[in-house]
Structure 1
Amino acid sequence: MSYAFLKGHGTENDFVVLPDADGSVHGDLSPARVRALCDRRAGIGGDGVLRAIRRDGRWFMDYRNADGSVSEMCGNGVRVFAHYLHEREGEPFPMEIGTRAGVKRLEQAGDEYTADMGAPQVLGETKVAVGDRSWAAVHVSMGNPHAVAFVDDLADAGPLHDAPEHDPAVYPDGVNVEFVVRRGEHHVAMRVHERGSGETRSCGTGACAVAVATALADDAPRGTTYRVDVPGGTLHVIWTDDDRVLMTGPAVLVAEGRTDL
């Protein structure tokens, strides 16, 4: 069996998009198929898979990590997903997309997209470690779990081949870990290790968690825009007066075709 696919990325966080409006093509979407598609040597390559399926009268982003595991949310992915729906399915903006972390509303402004990521949850302090080094971290949920650690240098986290150590009681299903340095006023840079995908070039929900943790550390007023540099580009995040996190960044489609992976 062959089926259609597209390839896209948001700040170089890349995804395989699978059109499957009525769910007849991919069934339950097996972890093995996801891993085959995301394989960067024998497959198409990606940090995850975005299956476009309709549920309860709206488009639903069925997101899977590169290892085949299910994830609640993906910030860069939802922008790529919205771009796909607009370009290939004719969906207008503003757009509402169903996810496992609730319905997300997206707007378009030129080549960039703004996603209302909802209300963050700041859940206290924790700790992460790489090798013999450890750091205090802020536990933030953006629908999926994050540990935000401020470091002196982004190189301090090492190669990040393996997941940083974390408290399994706090994160029983794993965690995305962001290492953050300050670049200027309301300006930070980060690296991230995403559960199920490894170190990636960007993480949208991670950038949101970083902006929230930094705003709290700065005692910044709500509505302050934070610039978050990731290895694959730049995102802008605002934590609003009404407790919403708005993330703005690019999304592009770079390829499409058919495969029998």
Structure 2
Amino acid sequence: MSYPFLKGHGTENDFVVLPDPDESVHGDLDPDRVRALCDRRSGIGADGVLRAVRRDDGWFMDYRNADGSISEMCGNGIRVFARYLHERQGEDFPMRIQTRDGVKVLTNDGDQLTADMGAPVVLGATEVSVGHLSWAARHVSMGNPHAVAFVDDLADAGSLLEAPGHDPAVYPEGVNVEFVVRRGTHHVAMRVHERGAGETRSCGTGACAVAVATALADDAPRGTTYRVDVPGGTLHVVWTDDDRVLMTGPAELVAEGTTDL
């Protein structure tokens, strides 16, 4: 069976978008097919797959990691998803998108899209490691789990081809690990290893977790905007007075076609 696809990215965190309004693709979207689509040599190439499903009460974003596993949420992905709905399905902003982590509201200001990612859940201290190095980390949930570690140099995390070590009792289903350095006042940079995808050029939920952890470390007042630099660009994140995390960044559609992968 062949079916249409689009390719998009948010700060170079890239995705295959599969329009599936009538759920005709769902039965074929097993982990093997997701891995084939995301393969960067024999497939289209992506960090994950966004399946666009129309329901009676709106659109649902079915997100799959590059390894075929299901994820609760994807911050860069939901901006790409909103860009697709606006440009190809005629949906207007503000836009409500259903996810496995509840409904997210998207707004736009020119090329920049803002996603209300909801309330963060700040949990306890934990630890992550790469090789013989280990760091204290903050456990933050943005619908999916994150471990945020402040380091002296982003190079200390190595290549991140392998998942950083973590406590399986704290993260039984794996974890996204962010390594963070300070660049200035309310300005940080990060690298990330995403569970199910490896090191990626950006992670939207990770940037949100980093902003929350940094605001707590700084004792910053709510409403403070943090600039988070990722290898693929820049995101801006605000933890609001009413306990919402707002993430702003670009989203682009760069290709479309038909595939039988």
Give the TM-score normalised by structure 1: 0.99
Gaps of 5+ in 2: none
Tell me which amino acid in the other structure corresponds to 2:2. S
For 1:37 and 1:28, the matched residues in 2 are separated by 12
Residue 117, structure 1, aligned to residue 104, structure 2: no
For 1:151 and 1:228, the matched residues in 2 are separated by 15
Alignment of 1:146-185 (within 5 A): 146-185=146-185
Tell me which amino acid in the other structure corresponds to 2:63. Y
For 1:56 and 1:176, the matched residues in 2 are separated by 33
For 1:204 and 1:25, the matched residues in 2 are separated by 26
Q: What residue is the counterpart of 2:227 in the other structure?
A: 227
Q: What residue is the counterpart of 2:214 in the other structure?
A: 214
For 1:81 and 1:228, the matched residues in 2 are separated by 21
Secondary structure of 2:69 counterpart: coil
For 1:38 and 1:63, the matched residues in 2 are separated by 13
**Deviation of the 1:4 alpha carbon:** 0.2
Q: What residue is the counterpart of 1:66 in the other structure?
A: 66
Q: What residue is the counterpart of 1:144 in the other structure?
A: 144
Q: What percentage of residue pairs aligned between the two structures are identical?
A: 84
Gaps of 5+ in 1: none
Q: What residue is the counterpart of 1:98 in the other structure?
A: 98
For 1:42 and 1:51, the matched residues in 2 are separated by 20
Residue 40, structure 1, aligned to residue 45, structure 2: no
For 1:187 and 1:14, the matched residues in 2 are separated by 24
Tell me which amino acid in the other structure corresponds to 2:64. R
Q: What residue is the counterpart of 1:247 in the other structure?
A: 247
Any idea what the Cα deviations from partners look like across 1:173-195, whole Å, max 9, x if unmatched?
00000000000000000000000
**Deviation of the 1:56 alpha carbon:** 4.3
**Deviation of the 1:25 alpha carbon:** 2.5
Q: What residue is the counterpart of 1:55 in the other structure?
A: 55
Any idea what the Cα deviations from partners look like across 1:159-215, whole Å, max 9, x if unmatched?
101000000000000000000000000000000000000000000000000000000
Any idea what the Cα deviations from partners look like across 1:204-238, whole Å, max 9, x if unmatched?
00000000000000000000000000000000000
Runs of 4+ with deviation above 4 angstroms: none
Aligned length: 261
Give the TM-score normalised by structure 2: 0.99
Secondary structure of 1:208 counterpart: helix
Residue 20, structure 1, aligned to residue 11, structure 2: no
Worse-matched range after superposition: 26-35 or 223-232: 26-35
Tell me which amino acid in the other structure corresponds to 2:135. W
Tell me which amino acid in the other structure corresponds to 2:10. G
**Deviation of the 1:28 alpha carbon:** 5.9
Secondary structure of 2:26 counterpart: coil
Worse-matched range after superposition: 222-231 or 28-37: 28-37
For 1:166 and 1:55, the matched residues in 2 are separated by 38
The Cα RMSD (Å) is: 0.7
Any idea what the Cα deviations from partners look like across 1:143-174, whole Å, max 9, x if unmatched?
00000000000001001010000000000000
Tell me which amino acid in the other structure corresponds to 1:32. D
